[in-house]
């Protein structure tokens, strides 16, 4: 519906009228507001959660996939928290799978794309998003802990956005756990260069996240159990 309105507004070589642009913009804002409202209603059903991020390319059998699967199962069993992911393949599937197999709440926030992203098969509840930015808010809004496995551009985008939200006090100070010292060394070195070489962040900002060894599930669980609970 929204796309049809925009195409109609821009039809032909003539600029669209003010009225046509206003109608299309009003419709789009209405759709965005609706998606946000439905998203917050959905999130409200899961007041305690841990959100996982990581590459879609790490498949069943890879060491990071298996660790995410095992870790999610332990979190469910020892804390009862819901496991939240983007609902797709790779690390998302691994975390959802671990939660699902442990009998916990396994939540997927998947995106509608032209080449449809298939949601994984290990979800107890899910929500489909049209707008990427609404989905990002859903994934970053209200977890007790954020866990980052190795990933690509999307993972880095989420990592630096959540670190920025904490740095600027837009969300409460919550644990950001990065798994795999080998992978995260270069990221950590980059952050330290921001602080020391370029002086573009403040001293202490390098402590917004913690890098944990692969397989150190006990340390991760300790962090999760000590994390402050967000307000209902």
Give the SS3 label for residue 112.
coil
Instruction: List pLDDT tens digits, range 162-218.
Output: 999 999 999 999 999 999 999 999 999 999 999 999 999 999 999 999 999 999 999
Task: Name the residue ranges covered by the structural domains of the chain.
Answer: 1-9+17-43, 47-226
The predicted pLDDT at position 230 comes to: 77
- Residues above pLDDT 90, as percent of the chain: 79
pLDDT digits (tens, 9 = 90+) for 25-69: 888 899 999 999 999 999 999 999 999 999 999 999 999 999 999
Instruction: For residues 112 and 88, give the distance between their C-alpha atoms in angstroms, rounded to a whole number.
Output: 11
**How are strands ordered across the β-sheet holding 210-212?**
125-129, 106-111, 82-85, 49-53, 145-148, 176-179, 210-212
> Residues 141-169: pLDDT tens digits?
889 999 999 999 999 999 999 999 999 99
pLDDT at 46: 93
Q: pLDDT grade, residue 3 (50/70/90)? A: low
* Residues 142 and 44: beta-carbon distance below 8 Å: no
pLDDT of residue 10 exceeding 70, the answer is no
pLDDT attached to residue 39 = 94
pLDDT digits (tens, 9 = 90+) for 64-120: 999 999 999 999 999 999 999 999 999 999 999 999 999 999 999 998 877 656 899
47-226 has which fold?
Answer: Rossmann fold (3.40.50)
**Where is pLDDT greater, at 22 or 137?**
137
Q: d(Cα 130, Cα 115) in Å, to the nearest integer?
A: 13
pLDDT at residue 14 in the model: 65
pLDDT at 2 over 90: no
């Amino acid at each position: 519906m929204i796309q049809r309105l925009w195409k109609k507004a821009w039809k032909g070589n003539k600029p669209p009228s003010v009225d046509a642009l206003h109608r299309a913009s009003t419709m789009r804002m209405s759709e965005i507001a609706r998606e946000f409202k439905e998203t917050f209603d959905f999130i409200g059903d899961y007041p305690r959660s841990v959100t996982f991020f990581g590459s879609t390319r790490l498949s069943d059998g890879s060491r990071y996939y298996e660790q995410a699967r095992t870790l999610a199962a332990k979190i469910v069993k020892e804390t009862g928290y819901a496991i939240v992911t983007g609902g797709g393949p790779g690390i998302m599937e691994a975390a959802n799978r671990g939660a699902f197999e442990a009998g916990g709440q396994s939540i997927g926030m998947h995106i509608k794309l032209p080449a449809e992203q298939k949601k994984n098969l290990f979800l107890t509840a899910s929500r489909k998003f049209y707008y990427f930015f609404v989905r990002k808010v859903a994934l970053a809004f209200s977890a007790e802990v954020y866990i980052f496995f190795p990933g690509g551009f999307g993972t880095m985008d989420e990592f630096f956005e959540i670190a920025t939200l904490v740095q600027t006090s837009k969300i409460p100070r919550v644990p950001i756990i990065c798994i795999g010292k080998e992978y995260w060394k270069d990221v950590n070195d980059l952050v330290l260069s921001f602080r020391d070489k370029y002086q573009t962040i403040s001293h202490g900002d390098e402590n917004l996240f913690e890098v944990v060894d692969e397989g150190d599930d006990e340390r991760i669980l300790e962090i999760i159990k000590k994390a402050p609970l967000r307000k209902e």
